[in-house]
Every structure is written in C-alpha cells, then in structure tokens.
Structure 1
Amino acid sequence: MKKQHAPILAVGNAIVDIIALTDDDFLQKEGMNKGGMQLLEDAADAARLYERIGPATEISGGSAANTVVGIVSCGGQAGFIGKLGHDDVGAIFAKDITAAGVEYVPCYDPEERTGNCIILVTPDAQRTMNTHLGATRHLLPEDIDPERVAAADWVYLEGYSYDAPSGPACFSHVADLIKGTDTRLAFSLSDAWCVERHHDELLAFIDDHIDLLFGNQIEIEALTGLKGEAMLDAVAGMASEVAVTFGEEGSVVVSGTERIRVEAKKGISVVDTTGAGDLFAAGYLHARQLGGSLEDAAMNGTAAAAEIISHVGARPEQPLSSLVPFRGR
C-alpha cells in the first residue's frame, strides 16, 4: 500500500522567472540563440544581463515546477523536489508553489542564492532563456526523498536538470529507486541545445529507463538526427509512449506503430510561448494518471498549452480544470 503522497512527483530546477519583452536585435547583440536556453554560470553575468533588459515581470517558475502547478490546476495532485537558497527569492518560490497546492518541502543550499531565469520574449512570442541555476544546481541524490518517489504513480524529470553537476547522479538515483516497482518515469527533453550537450548520455538514459518522453519538434530532431516521419519512426522505439509537439501544427503521440495526431487550438492569440511544453506535459500527465487514453492525454495537453500561451508567464491564469476535456471516467 502506497503512503499518502502526491501521485505525480516532479524533480527539477527551483527557479524564479524574470520575463521581459525584447526584439531580435537585442538577442543578436547579446549573442543569444533565439528560442533556446543558455546557462549563466556566474551570478554577476546574470546581474549584468538583468541591468540591460527592459521592464520585467518576476514570477516563480522552473520547467518541472510549472508542470506540477499545471497538474494541480487541472484538478490533480502533484509534488515537487527542488533546491533553494536561503533568501527572499527562495521564500517567494516556496510560498508560490505551495499556495498553488503543490506538495513541496524545501531543501536549501547554505551558500548559493536561489536560481533565476531571464526570459526574453520577442514580438513573435518566442522565448529565449538565460538561466543562472544558483542553488538548484546543487540538488543531490540524498535530497530526493525515497518515500515520496515510492508513493508516486509517475515521476517526472526535466532535461534542464541534467546540466547540473549532480544532474546525472540524481537521474540515476531516481531510476534506481523505482526499479522493480510500478512507478513510471516521464522525461521532458526541455531544450535542443541541452540535448546536443548531453546527447549520448541522455539517449542511453531514455532507452534504459523512460516510459513517457516529451519533446517539441526541434528537440526530437536533435535527439534522433532525423526529420518528419523518419523522426517519428526512430523515436517510437525509445519509450513506450512519446509525445511530440509541433507548435501551431498540433502534436503527435507515438506508441509503437500507433500515431495519434491532435490539432492545436484555433483562434488563440499567442502572447508568450514560455511554458507551453511544461503545460502540455501537465495536461497530458494528469489525464494519464487518471487512466485516460493517449488521445485524452494529448487533448488535455493541448488545452493546457493553449491557455498558457495566451498571456505572459508560465503559470495558469484560470483553472485548467474548466478547460481540459478529460477529467476522469
């Protein structure tokens, strides 16, 4: 009998998002890859970039954290594991995520400050991320509570976490904890450049451990080195189910020889794509945890992503429970 903890548990980066509008010229001057994520190793580099951007909105974020907040907004239960600094920003993160209804017990790094991500949004709604991991890069395997992992039906990992020094060890630790249990492991690729940095290691981890893989078209292309139907054929053998998003072209769920295609929501005014993949994963995981089909899951993911791209920020502005079509049988 599993103890009473959240049935979906995410392990990821505890980050505060700093969101500002910009243009392509600024990205080019700063040498940024539009639509991607770069790591700012030095806190001073993050501070200097912050001084150069325009007016900004600060919102608690982090990819996996956004996903679990979305799951709760869908009407589900979810928990989170991520590391903070002992500072005001960390206190805000902890307050925000628990106020959203997520099961979260903070762990702290005694020396580093809470991580942040400067997200620059261009007029075409593309987001370019500049992340200083801070305390979250020091998440260790011993910070991951085995009891909470054992209690979960699903554990969800984000690709960004693999960049941390102990990221690979944390991934392996989670995989070891669920070995021989009925807990399933889901993984989001997060970023094409992250995939390229760790390609062979991530590919091996996915092949060995992952039940459900999330990625957008660019990320899956980076993983497989292929495009189109050949890409979908290649990824089919990597996990029992793979959800691939194609922006305004919708999504495809691949499971063995099965292909399920779901159109994107029409008539959505796209303001900011930050968190689109995170919230797609939220709707999808919520439906699967409730016993929904692959199509139910993709439909829920589509509805959740449509809400998040209609405004600035990666946290829902209205309850997703009123928007997702599948709410259990």
Structure 2
Amino acid sequence: MYHKLSGEKRGVVGVGSALMDLLIFEDDAFLAGISDVKGGMTLVDGDFADGVLEKVSSDVTVVPGGAACNTIIGVGRLGGQATFVGKRGRDSYGDIFETDLEKNGVTPRLVTSDTPTGRVLSIITPDAQRSMFTYLGAASELVPDEISTAHFKDAGIVLIEGYLVFNRDLMMKTLKAAKDAGAAVAMDLASFTVVEEALDFIKAEVIPSVDILIANEDEARAFTGVSDEEAALSAMSACADVAVLKLGARGSRIAFGGKVTDVEPVVGADIVDTTGAGDLWAAGFLYGMVSGYSAETCGRIASACGYEVCRVTGADIPEEGWARIREYLPAS
C-alpha cells in the first residue's frame, strides 16, 4: 500500500507515555463536580489524581494504558513485530506495565525512574464516553538523550504519540531518530484538547516529518479549523502521504495516492466502553500498512479492532476478541 514500506523492515515501534489506566465508572454529575470538560484529555498533577480517587464510589479497574502503548500492544497481538519505548517508575505499577507488554508480544524498551509510574483516570459515564485526567509521572521524564536511532533500526513505522507535543525537545529528537533510521512516521493526534493547546507547534515543527496522519472528527476539526469532513480530510491529506479520518460508528475514510477509501464500521449493540477505541483502531491500521495490505483491508482490520475493544472495559481485548479480529486478515 505505502511506497516507503516496500523494504524488508516490518517492525512497528511506539514512542509514548508508559501509563496505567485507572477505569472509573461514574455518572455525569460526578464528572461535572471535578471538570467542565467531557471527553478528551486533561493533564493533572498527582494531588488532583489522588483527590479524585478519594471521591470515587465505584470499583476502580487498573490496566496498562497510554495511547501509543495500547496501539503497540494491538500490533503485537495481531502477530506483528512490536516495540514500545517509554519511561516507567521503579514501582509495582511499573512492574505490571512492563510484564504486560511482554505477555502481549511487545518488546519493552523502558527507562526507569524514582518518580512514580504515570497514571490516567479514565472516567466512564453511562453513555460509554470517557474523560481522561492524566498524571504523567515518570513518563514525562523521558529525555532526548534516551532516544537513539538504534531504537528504530528494524522499524517500518514509528508511531509518535500525540501527547508527546508536551515534551517538545523529545518530540523533535524522536522524529529525527526515526527519519535517520529510514522509518515512516505515523502520528495519531490523540485528543482535540492536545491539538488545541499545541496547534502551532504541531503544524510548524511536527507535521513536516509525518507520513501517516490519523485523527477522529474532533481532532481533525481542531487541526484543520474546518467542520466539513470532506474539507478536513483534504486538508489533512495535504500534510501527509496517508491521512485517516476516524468516524466512530460511521466507519473511517482513508486518503492515499489521490484516492479516498471509505471503510464501513464493524458494528454491534454490545458497546460497553470506548476507552482505547481509537488506539486499537490505529493498531489494526498500522499492522495492515506495515504488512503491505490495501487501504480497504487495513481499514477493515482497524474497524474490527476498534469494535472489539468497545465490547470490554478498558483497552485489553480478550483472546476470543482477537480470534474474531484475525478473521479479517488476508489468508497467508
């Protein structure tokens, strides 16, 4: 599908925040009591995160997370060559995080710190929407000197987490190392709040190095400044060789080589939680791309991944879900 992936490199390497997801089921009134923002991602400090946990009335589910990590785990579960680069604390959360990567077929390339492992409070309301409050912890301490071209020597694609824009020197070092290693760079815009806060930097410094640009409707609107989906996708495709507009339950649109491919969603009535939906969609898509599949096939695999993760709490798809997803893979 993608001209820069015609060589032998088939690895997908993710660079991002090593975070634990704390999944909290509460109503809209609870969310309104701590924030006036529903959806998206808000950076918070450790005291804020601890304060929210003290108010929680429901059980808290703890699972490894972080946008790029979720995507790379998905690539690993699909049978791809997957690596994750990040920074964790020397604590029990960090141990769980690293062990989980290995269990899911991902090679961890993790630096350690005395600072606690980062965590995300994902508040899930009855409409299955999730609002994320992120304490980065050790994840924010990854520095440019800890990234090198060697991390990407086997990478066909390097996935740059959108949240990395809050560490600009690290973002620029990662982009340069990925390009020097000959990898294509994919960026998932991650959250409309992230795009709004760092738009000028993203457009001026990051996008010139991006080959694959992925966004949902809200992120595309924040990035392009237009609401019309056709115009937004067109503006995105002017910035990258491959542009993807994720449309949730309406499927997705993939712009590549002057052609737009519309992909139907995989749908069902058993949606429990949208946590990780975009991340796992990207997992299927990037796995398909690095495998040389067509845009339509990449989109179908991605849609299956996005649907299956919405059938469970958190971003951990069970084996029976992965078995259904693998039915979308072309016969070898």
- Asked if TM exceeds 0.5, the reply is yes
What's 1:305 paired with? 306
Measured after TM superposition, the shift of residue 322 of structure 1 is 4.2
2:325 maps to a residue whose letter is L
2:147 to 144, 149, 153: 144
Measured after TM superposition, the shift of residue 6 of structure 1 is 7.2
2:255 and 2:261 in contact (8 A); partners too: yes
Alpha-carbon distance between aligned partners in 2 of 1:5 and 1:261, rounded to the nearest angstrom: 28
1:100 to 89, 96, 104: 104
What's 1:186 paired with? 186
Aligned ranges 1:214-229 → 2 under 5 Å = 214-228=214-228, 229=230
1:284 maps to a residue whose letter is F
Alpha-carbon distance between aligned partners in 2 of 1:88 and 1:32, rounded to the nearest angstrom: 32
Measured after TM superposition, the shift of residue 32 of structure 1 is 3.7
Q: Which deviates more from structure 2 when the two are superposed, residues 223-232 or residues 270-279? A: 223-232
After superposition, the C-alpha distances for 1:16-72 in whole angstroms (9 at most, x for unaligned) are 00001111111112124111111112x121111111122110001111111111011
- Which structure 1 segments of 5+ residues have no match? none
1:287 and 1:328 in contact (8 A); partners too: no
Alpha-carbon distance between aligned partners in 2 of 1:312 and 1:249, rounded to the nearest angstrom: 21
Give the 3 Å change call, closer, same or farther, for CA 188–242 of structure 1 in structure 2: same
2:68 and 2:161 in contact (8 A); partners too: yes
Measured after TM superposition, the shift of residue 140 of structure 1 is 0.8
Normalising by structure 1, what TM-score?
0.93
Alpha-carbon distance between aligned partners in 2 of 1:34 and 1:85, rounded to the nearest angstrom: 29
3-state secondary structure, aligned to 2:153: helix
Answer yes or no: is 1:66 the counterpart of 2:67: no
Alpha-carbon distance between aligned partners in 2 of 1:210 and 1:220, rounded to the nearest angstrom: 15
Write out the 4+ residue segments of structure 1 that deviate beyond 6 Å after TM superposition: none
What's 1:83 paired with? 87
Give the 3 Å change call, closer, same or farther, for CA 189–280 of structure 1 in structure 2: same
Normalising by structure 2, what TM-score?
0.92
Alpha-carbon distance between aligned partners in 2 of 1:40 and 1:31, rounded to the nearest angstrom: 11
Alpha-carbon distance between aligned partners in 2 of 1:159 and 1:31, rounded to the nearest angstrom: 22
**Aligned residues between the structures:** 321
Measured after TM superposition, the shift of residue 321 of structure 1 is 5.3
Alpha-carbon distance between aligned partners in 1 of 2:186 and 2:9, rounded to the nearest angstrom: 18
Alpha-carbon distance between aligned partners in 1 of 2:210 and 2:323, rounded to the nearest angstrom: 27
Alpha-carbon distance between aligned partners in 1 of 2:296 and 2:10, rounded to the nearest angstrom: 24
What's 2:18 paired with? 14
Alpha-carbon distance between aligned partners in 2 of 1:236 and 1:224, rounded to the nearest angstrom: 11
2:144 and 2:169 in contact (8 A); partners too: yes
What's 1:132 paired with? 135
2:120 to 109, 117, 120: 117
What's 1:257 paired with? 258
After superposition, the C-alpha distances for 1:208-238 in whole angstroms (9 at most, x for unaligned) are 1000011111001000000221112211101
Measured after TM superposition, the shift of residue 5 of structure 1 is 9.3
1:26 maps to a residue whose letter is F
1:269 and 1:310 in contact (8 A); partners too: yes
What's 1:239 paired with? 240
Measured after TM superposition, the shift of residue 174 of structure 1 is 2.0
What's 2:203 paired with? 203
What's 1:320 paired with? 322
2:11 maps to a residue whose letter is P
3-state secondary structure, aligned to 1:156: strand
Alpha-carbon distance between aligned partners in 1 of 2:299 and 2:318, rounded to the nearest angstrom: 21
3-state secondary structure, aligned to 1:314: coil
1:33 maps to a residue whose letter is V
3-state secondary structure, aligned to 1:133: strand
Q: Which deviates more from structure 2 when the two are superposed, residues 77-86 or residues 200-209? A: 200-209
Measured after TM superposition, the shift of residue 328 of structure 1 is 6.5
What's 2:286 paired with? 285
Please, what is the CA RMSD of the aligned residues?
1.7
2:72 maps to a residue whose letter is V
